[in-house]
Structure 1
Amino acid sequence: MPDNTTTVAAPTPEQVRAALEQVQDPEIRRPITELDMVKSVAVAPDGTVDVALYLTVAACPLKDRLTSDVKTHVGQVPGVREVRVELDVMSAEQRQTLQTKLRGGRTEREIPFAKPGSLTRVFAVASGKGGVGKSSVTVNLAAAMAAKGLKVGVVDADIYGHSVPRMLGVTERPTQVQDMIMAPVAHGVRVISIGMFTPGNEPVVWRGPMLHRALQQFLADVYWGDLDVLLMDLPPGTGDVAISVAQLVPSAEILVVTTPQQAASEVAERAGTIALQTRQRIVGVVENMSWLPCPHCGERVEVFGEGGGQTVADALTRATGAQVPLLGQVPIDMRLREGGDNGEPLVLADADAPAAAVLISIADRLSSRARGLVGMSLSVSPAAR
């Protein structure tokens, strides 16, 4: 009888390398072939494929995931019987070359978002006082934008009260490649925080110059990639960090978070009017904890009063001479707090929840403007005559 079985020929090294182009470094989010991480590829006649990779550092926290991704993609090539992965480590020279490549050919440090041609929208999320849910708003806006397919980063600039890593469920620590920091990614959001560098729950006891330097490092030394949006969770008030943000990223737009009560709204106005001194644009106001749905009848219960968000928006409109809108009123929802504790933002856990719907709407409004130079300050003035 004729033999009807067919034998698939072993793949070529070129086919294997084409498959490796689909594998991204989990931290850098770019193909490993583009990053020169593929050391060698060998294909045996029986279909066994040996792939040798360079890790950026020996203690790469995601090397198991990288190995798994290589086996998955290469294993899908016709004719592959087995995939074996060998890991090596880049030399100092190779890491320096990679760092220069990631910086677009530049060897010096610089803040990419401060460059005149930057297309990344930077939002500095500010509040007059603590306890208004500024970090919850920041985290949920970031997660909502990332869920839409935008490339999003978050700087936890609240050095003393850092909470963003927990709220986004970040457990990994940053990896260092030479003097460049690879920030962890959670829910599609790249995140950096001083809490990733301090042991346990140890407090940060720094004064102004050290705060400025830390923020500068977060912006210049972290590999952010080509972000669409960067959100910066600022400390409450108008202190050193708010001033440093204005100096380091002059194009940052201020997003003010308040609660309805008068005490909070009066302080929020002060946080917003710092834009008059720094010449930054106020993109809008978010009123958090606006109301509580009655568990029995469903009617709104204004636990903290009402109207504070609109009051702040109106006051900032008068003070700046530019329209400052009230972007949304976020109702009280226990799941918003629970999501922060569990590292699962409400906008992802239950997008139909009333609070999530408002936050998603705000995220849509903030990210609706296309990337480009329209609306950006070009730091020019009319010539004298």
Structure 2
Amino acid sequence: MKILAYLIQKEFTQIFRNKALLPMMTILPIVQLIVLSNAASNEVKNVNIVIVDKDHSEQSRLLTRKVMANDRFSLVSAPYNKEDAMETMQKNDADIILEIPQNFERSFLKGERPQLQILVNAINGQQATVGVGYLNSIIGRFNAELMSDIKRPIVNKNAQIQIASRNWYNPEIEYTHFMAPGILAELTALLTIILSAMNIVREREIGTIEQINVTPIKKWQFILGKLVPFLCVGLVLLTVGLIASKLIFDIPIRGNIGIIFIYGIVNLVAVLGLGLLISNFANTQQQAIFVAFFFILIFVLMCGLFTPIDSMPKWAQYFTLPNPLAHFISVSRKVLMKGSGLADIKMEFLYTFLLAIVFNSLAIWSYKKQS
């Protein structure tokens, strides 16, 4: 244990000598958290719409006003023909075209079902899907209002179905509350993987690794001595991020904060093991950064931060199992927003614990100690 203590002491000494590390542990995570939590939003706030009103009736103008009263839509133009509207979409100035046909009002008064046509610019899939959802909701409410205003013998007002919806865990649909826990987990994991990936190869470049190789230090002691200090760095990052998220975004903390730290330790051990494994095979710090970014890109794109994992193809969902970042984001959101306990995140714990064993075992095995 004395040898391990000396190794850990050496690593802490090197860390504190690194003047760039303190800003990376404090200022950088806060800045990234503020910027990304506000910028990275799944909410569609501005949908450019073109309305082609071929009816010019009281009801068609009322529908137009209903659409424009919603602050999520911006009316780009209201041409008289569909060709001009399509030209606007061709220029990418319109996301949606709403066409109100001739005799719209008369067909409705006759008890027929007039059809509205919605043309969508699906190049931006999310903008199109969410925008159509907003528009369908407005049209649905407009239809219900007309049905209640117009007296027809076939319509029984008392038989109408009333729908009441309620948002759980995030009632106000605050996207910062949804994004901040995920970005917090992402920053904690990614910064530690980069730092650990550069560690061993840095010592190899400056020559200090040769002095360690001629000592009777065992490989597991060497890897553990590297892991513990950066584990402490990761926990500091996590603490700073949680405090900043609460103070700046007032994120809810409904669960036990201790669960976040317990799981964070397991997750950081897994991530650091991967970083040390990368460092063992890299010859230069540049190589280590390139390899680390290869894994980082995969982890970020397949972690569920921006795209729900359930919406991915089945094969892609299986690839998220060895992704420690995906499990960290899932745990942080469950504990902070839903108040989940250990029983609710047992599978994430299990997968991450297995990843920690695999990555660190490979890191110990792949470290080539020359005596």
- How would you bin the TM-score normalised by the shorter chain? under 0.3
Q: Is the strand fraction higher in 1 or 2?
A: 1
Say which structure, 1 or 2, has more relative contact order (CA 8 Å, 6+ apart): 2
With normalisation by structure 2, the TM-score equals: 0.26
